[in-house]
Amino acid sequence: MLIKQSEDFKASEVTPESIYRERRRFMQGTLGIASGAALLGGAGLLSPSARAIATDPDAKGEELRYVIESELSTDEELTSYDDITRYNNFYEFGTDKGDPKKHSRRFKPRPWSVSFSGECEKPGVLDLDDVINPHQLEERIYRLRCVEAWSMVIPWVGVPLGPVLERFRPTSKAKYVAFTSVLRPDEMPGQKRSFIDWPYVEGLRIDEAMHPLTLLTVGLYGRVLPNQNGAPIRLVVPWKYGFKSIKSVVSIAFTEDEPPTTWNIENAREYGFYSNVNPEVDHPRWSQKRERRIGFFSKRETLMFNGYADQVAHLYEGMDLAKYY
Distance of CA 198 to the CA centre of its chain: 20
Spatial contact of 97 and 87, defined as CB atoms under 8 Å apart: yes
Instruction: For the sheet with 176-181, list strands across it.
Output: 124-127, 113-118, 249-255, 176-181, 201-205
In the prediction, which pLDDT does 89 show?
95
HEC assignment per residue over the chain: CCCCCCCCCCHHHHCCHHHHHHHHHHHCCCCCCCCCHHHHCCCCCCCHHHCCCCCCCCCCCCECCCCEECCCCCCCCCCCHHHHHHCCCCHHHCCCCCHHHHHCCCCCCCCCEEEEEECECCCEEEEHHHHHCHHHCCCCCEEEEEEECCCEEEEEEEEEHHHHHHCCCECCCCCEEEEEECCCCCCCHHHHCCCCCCCCEEEEEHHHHHCCCCEEEEEECCEECCHHHCCCCEEECCCECHHHCCCCEEEEEEECCCCCCHHHHHCCCCCCCCCECCCCCCECCECCCEECCCCCCCCEECCHHHHCHHHHHHHHCCCCCCCCC
Distance from C-alpha of 1 to C-alpha of 152, rounded to nearest angstrom: 34
Distance from C-alpha of 69 to C-alpha of 145, rounded to nearest angstrom: 8
CATH code linked to domain 11-316: 3.90.420.10
Rg of the chain over all Cα atoms, to the nearest angstrom: 19
pTM check: above 0.75 = yes
In the prediction, which pLDDT does 286 show?
87
**Structural domain boundaries of the chain?**
11-316
Distance from C-alpha of 295 to C-alpha of 206, rounded to nearest angstrom: 35
169 Rama class: left (phi>0) / alpha (psi -120 to 50) / beta: left
**Longest CA pairwise span in the chain (Å):** 56
In the prediction, which pLDDT does 84 show?
95
pLDDT tens-place values along the chain, 325 residues long: 333 333 333 433 444 444 444 444 433 332 222 222 222 222 222 233 334 456 898 999 998 887 888 887 888 889 999 999 999 999 999 999 999 999 999 999 999 999 999 999 999 999 988 776 655 545 566 677 777 776 899 999 998 999 999 999 999 999 999 999 999 999 999 999 999 999 999 999 999 999 999 999 999 999 999 999 999 999 999 999 999 999 999 999 999 999 999 999 999 999 999 999 999 998 889 899 998 888 888 888 999 999 999 999 999 999 999 999 9
